Amino acid sequence: MWNPSKKIRTIASKILIILFSMTMIFHIFALLEVIPFQYLWGGRLSSLKEMYVMESVSLLVNAFFLCVSCLYIKYLNQSLVPLWIRIVFGFVGIIFLLNTVGNLVAATDLETLLATPITAILSVICFSLVPKYEN
């Protein structure tokens, strides 16, 4: 079984921290209506109210993933990443994989072209953090 080194896992975790932070900024811009809601969620949102609900949930979920990514680095430095964190990354990897498929069939080109590669990369990175780390 593939078992990435501590260095690869640290780099992967830092990439996740950067991407989750950038995603949170994007969702904040959406909530502030800097980005029109027609370009969000595959172009399938029908109202501002719906956008506020979906973007608020997205912001909270991304904040949780950001915290878990930070915890991963902390525990990796102690050479023992708890099982629950690895399960979260497995779940997140599946979510991003499904999201990649959803982005491919999005109604807006922006989401297809911009979000598809990002979610695909996030999925691969999350799956690389799932195996148990052994020195």
pLDDT confidence tier of residue 1, bands split at 50, 70 and 90: low
How many separate domains does the chain show? 1
Domain assignment present for residue 74? The answer is: yes
pTM of the model: 0.84
Task: Note the pLDDT of residue 31.
Answer: 93
Give pLDDT, residue 135: 55
Across the range 50-78, mean pLDDT stands at 93
State yes or no: pLDDT of 111 exceeds 80.
Answer: no
Residue 91 within a domain:
yes
Q: What is the pLDDT of residues 76-85, one digit of tens each?
A: 888 888 999 9
96 lies in a domain? yes
State mean pLDDT over 66-89: 91
pLDDT at 72: 93
On whether residue 49 sits in a domain, the answer given is yes
- The answer to whether residue 25 scores a pLDDT higher than 80 is yes
Dihedral angle computed from the Cα positions of residues 56, 58, 61 and 67, in that order, rounded to the nearest 10 degrees? -90
What are the residue ranges of helices labelled H in 32-134? 48-77, 83-104, 109-110, 116-128
Judge whether residue 18 has pLDDT over 90.
yes
Establish if 1 belongs to a structural domain.
no
* Cβ neighbour number for residue 90 with a 10 Å cutoff: 15
| Residue 72 half-sphere exposure toward CB, CA atoms < 13 A | 33
- 111 lies in some domain: yes
**Domain residue limits at 123:** 6-128
Average pLDDT score over the chain: 88
Angle at alpha carbon of residue 111, lines to 93 and 63, rounded to 5°: 45
pLDDT in tens, 114-134: 888 988 999 999 999 999 876
